[in-house]
Amino acid sequence: MDTGFIIEKFILVAVIFGISLVIAMYSTYAERKVAAYLQDRLGPDRAGPFGILQPLADGVKMFMKEEIIPTTSNKWLFIVGPGLALLCACIGTAVIPWGSPMVIGDKVIPLQVSDINVGVLYIFGVVSLGVYGVMIGGWASNNKYSLLSAIRAASQNISYEIAMGLSIIALLLMTNTLSLKTIVEQQHGWHWNVLYQPLGFLIFMVCSFAETNRAPFDLPECETELIGGYHTEYSSMKLGFYLFAEYINMFVSSAVMATLYFGGYNYPGMDYMATLLGPTWAPLFGTAILFAKIFFFIFFFMWVRWTIPRFRYDQLMNLGWKGLIPLAIANIIITGVVIAIIEKF
């Protein structure tokens, strides 16, 4: 393995990691602005023009707050929990194709950290690990509210991962691959998977809300019942890590939805733009298109949060087990029958 390859991947990882953190940081600002607009308020407008420096002020506040570790907590696990949550949120970006290969001189640079042939399974594995950060933090706090919240989060994630996995199976029946890069390449032009799998996309999107603990599925953080949820005992940057993890999960979920169902970096007129811009700039334009799709989904996450009230816990579990899972199974059967008929005739 040559040094240039290692440097190339290291730079790509650093850029993606930095972008993820910046997007997570400014998602907090966007969330407050979207909430303010929907509620006919101004939102943050003191720190810098239009309040644009508010995330920096919040970051400084997080760093400067007193670090408190409860005396009766499991101190080592109490520290590990937030770090694990943030780590699992970040490593999901490794298999997402951020653009078509970029040509600089005679060198071709793939805009993807790792093109593994089981990319979809990798995403699901990372998503499954994410609940451990919540579970460990809630249990290590030695607080009954935190523990109850952690148990809620674990049962919610397990329940909705099943429906999410089943919704993907119908997509995989069509694509015949687990590689995210190949799935994106198959959607070139207007062959976006959402046109062929609208029900699968709807199920996947609802499950994404539940997996990221976003309203109306934010039962693990239900302040009316559980104070602050699993991070009740946390302060300073440990609390910041949990909040960052939630927004990075939202970013990664949006990227996965855009990649699997909305063509990723593909867009109408892509071949014309490739001719016009050349092999160096055209991939970056495709990356900008992908980020536009991601930002739309992030806005949709926020729009739903400030529009729809929170479910009761029994409603949440009923929707997962009695609603989405039967729908996902029916979608698999319908997709299989349609594919068999098309191949037959």
User: Residue 236: is its pLDDT beyond 70?
Assistant: yes
Q: How far is CA 255 from CA 100, 215, 261, 289, in A?
A: 15, 19, 10, 11
Distance CA 38, CA 42 (A): 10
* pLDDT score recorded for residue 87: 92
Sign of the Cα torsion 129, 133, 139, 143 reads: negative
User: Residue 266: is its pLDDT beyond 80?
Assistant: yes
* pLDDT score recorded for residue 179: 93
Among 53-62, 144-153, 166-175, which is the least confidently predicted range? 144-153
Confidence bin at 183 (pLDDT 50/70/90): very high
* pLDDT score recorded for residue 151: 86
Angle at 301 between CA 299 and CA 303, to 5 degrees: 65
Q: What is the mean pLDDT of residues 286-291?
A: 95
* pLDDT score recorded for residue 297: 96
Confidence bin at 248 (pLDDT 50/70/90): very high
Q: What is the mean pLDDT of residues 154-174?
A: 92
Taking residue 80's Cβ as centre, other Cβ atoms within 10 Å add up to 17
Distance CA 290, CA 252 (A): 12
Confidence bin at 139 (pLDDT 50/70/90): confident
Distance CA 176, CA 324 (A): 23
Distance CA 71, CA 42 (A): 41
Pick the closest to residue 63 from 261, 268, 243, 237 (CA basis). Answer: 237
Percent of the chain exceeding pLDDT 90 equals 48
Token couple for 223: 């302040």
* pLDDT score recorded for residue 138: 86
Distance CA 261, CA 194 (A): 5
Which regions of the chain does DSSP assign to beta strands (E)?
99-104, 107-111
Do residues 213 and 221 make contact, with C-beta atoms less than 8 angstroms apart?
yes
Q: What is the mean pLDDT of residues 204-229?
A: 80
Collapsing DSSP to helix, strand or coil, 305 comes out as helix
Q: What is the DSSP string of 58-70?
A: HHHHHHHSPP---
User: Residue 315: is its pLDDT beyond 80?
Assistant: yes
User: Residue 229: is its pLDDT beyond 80?
Assistant: no
Confidence bin at 47 (pLDDT 50/70/90): confident
Confidence bin at 201 (pLDDT 50/70/90): very high
User: Looking at the whole model, is its pTM more than 0.85?
Assistant: yes
User: Residue 73: is its pLDDT beyond 90?
Assistant: no
Confidence bin at 154 (pLDDT 50/70/90): confident
Collapsing DSSP to helix, strand or coil, 52 comes out as coil
Kindly report the average pLDDT of the chain as a whole number: 89
With 0-12 / 13-18 / 19 or more C-beta atoms within 10 angstroms meaning exposed / middle / buried, residue 103 is middle
* pLDDT score recorded for residue 128: 85
User: Residue 122: is its pLDDT beyond 80?
Assistant: yes
Q: Tell me the helix, strand and coil percentages in the chain, rounded to 5.
A: 75, 5, 25
Distance CA 248, CA 259 (A): 16
Give per-residue pLDDT as tens, 20-40: 999 999 999 999 999 999 988
Instruction: Kindly report the backbone phi and psi dihedral angles of residue 111, in degrees, each rounded to the nearest multiple of 5, phi listed first.
Output: -90, 55
Any idea which residue has 């309203």 for tokens? 215
Token couple for 332: 């698999």
Distance CA 337, CA 345 (A): 12
User: Residue 8: is its pLDDT beyond 70?
Assistant: yes
* pLDDT score recorded for residue 226: 66
Report CA 170 to chain centroid distance, whole Å.
21
Write the single-letter amino acid at 292.
A
Report CA 130 to chain centroid distance, whole Å.
11
Distance CA 33, CA 44 (A): 7
* pLDDT score recorded for residue 225: 66
State the Rg of the chain over Cα.
21
Distance CA 249, CA 228 (A): 19
* pLDDT score recorded for residue 326: 95
Do residues 77 and 139 make contact, with C-beta atoms less than 8 angstroms apart?
yes
User: Residue 223: is its pLDDT beyond 70?
Assistant: no
Rounded to the nearest 10°, the torsion over CA 31, 134, 172, 266 is 30
User: Residue 68: is its pLDDT beyond 90?
Assistant: no
* pLDDT score recorded for residue 142: 85
